[in-house]
Amino acid sequence: MYLATTDAVAKASEQEQSGVRRGRVAGPVLALGAVSLVTDISSEMVTAVLPLYFVLQLGLSPLQFGFLDGLYNGVTALVRLAGGYAADRGGRHKLVAGGGYALSALSRLGLLLAGGATAGIGAALAADRIGKGVRTAPRDALISLSSPPDTLGRAFGVHRAMDTTGALLGPLAAFALLWATADAYDAVFVVSFCFGLLGVLMLVAFVPGHLSQVSPRPSRPAPERHRPAAPRPRALGLLRVPAFRRVLCAAALLGAATIGDAFLYLLLQRRLDFAISWFPLLPLGAAAVYLLLAVPAGRLADRVGRRVPFLAGHVALLGGYVLLLAPTDGWPLLIGVLLLLGIFYAATDGVLMALVAPVVAQERRASGMAVLQTGQALARLVAAAGFGAAWTLWGVGTALTCAVVALTVAVAGAAALLPQSHTSSGGPT
**Could you tell me the smallest distance in angstroms from the CB atom of residue 230 to other proteins?**
26
2 binds other proteins (CB under 8 A): no
Backbone angles phi, psi at 208, to 5 degrees: -65, 140
Backbone angles phi, psi at 146, to 5 degrees: -105, 10
- In the DSSP assignment, the letter for residue 18 is T
**x/- string (CB under 8 A) for other proteins, residues 110-139?**
-----xx-----------------------
Candidates 8-16, 216-224, 343-351, 353-361: pick the segment binding other proteins (CB under 8 A): 8-16
Candidates 235-243, 257-265, 300-308, 348-356: pick the segment binding other proteins (CB under 8 A): 257-265
Question: What is the DSSP track for 170-211?
Answer: HHHHHHHHHHHHTS-HHHHHHHHHHHHHHHHHHHHHHS-S-G
276 binds other proteins (CB under 8 A): yes
How many other C-beta atoms can be found within 10 angstroms of the C-beta atom of residue 393?
9
Q: Which amino acid is at 141?
A: A
30 binds other proteins (CB under 8 A): yes
**Could you tell me the smallest distance in angstroms from the CB atom of residue 195 to other proteins?**
8
**Could you tell me the smallest distance in angstroms from the CB atom of residue 329 to other proteins?**
19
Alpha-carbon gap, residue 76 to 215, rounded angstroms = 27
182 binds other proteins (CB under 8 A): yes
Q: Which parts of 306-335 interact with other proteins (CB under 8 A)?
A: none
260 binds other proteins (CB under 8 A): yes
Q: Which of 337, 342, 315, 345 is nearest to 271 (CA)?
A: 337
19 binds other proteins (CB under 8 A): yes
Candidates 201-209, 293-301, 334-342, 421-429: pick the segment binding other proteins (CB under 8 A): 201-209
Rounded to a whole number of angstroms, the CA Rg of the chain reads 21
- In the DSSP assignment, the letter for residue 426 is S
288 binds other proteins (CB under 8 A): no
Given candidates 36, 39, 146, 367, which one binds other proteins under the rule CB under 8 A?
146
**Could you tell me the smallest distance in angstroms from the CB atom of residue 428 to other proteins?**
28
Alpha-carbon gap, residue 140 to 101, rounded angstroms = 14
Q: Which of 285, 255, 279, 278 is nearest to 265 (CA)?
A: 279
**x/- string (CB under 8 A) for other proteins, residues 31-50?**
x-------------------
Q: Which amino acid is at 49?
A: V
Given candidates 37, 142, 158, 202, which one binds other proteins under the rule CB under 8 A?
202
Candidates 134-142, 220-228, 255-263, 359-367: pick the segment binding other proteins (CB under 8 A): 255-263
Candidates 125-133, 199-207, 294-302, 314-322: pick the segment binding other proteins (CB under 8 A): 199-207
Q: Are the beta carbons of 180 and 55 closer than 8 angstroms?
A: no
Q: Are the beta carbons of 338 and 110 closer than 8 angstroms?
A: no
**Could you tell me the smallest distance in angstroms from the CB atom of residue 227 to other proteins?**
25
269 binds other proteins (CB under 8 A): yes
Q: Are the beta carbons of 428 and 250 closer than 8 angstroms?
A: no
Q: Which of 280, 297, 384 is nearest to 343 (CA)?
A: 297
Given candidates 2, 5, 13, 52, which one binds other proteins under the rule CB under 8 A?
52
User: Which regions of 12-98 does DSSP assign to beta strands (E)?
Assistant: none
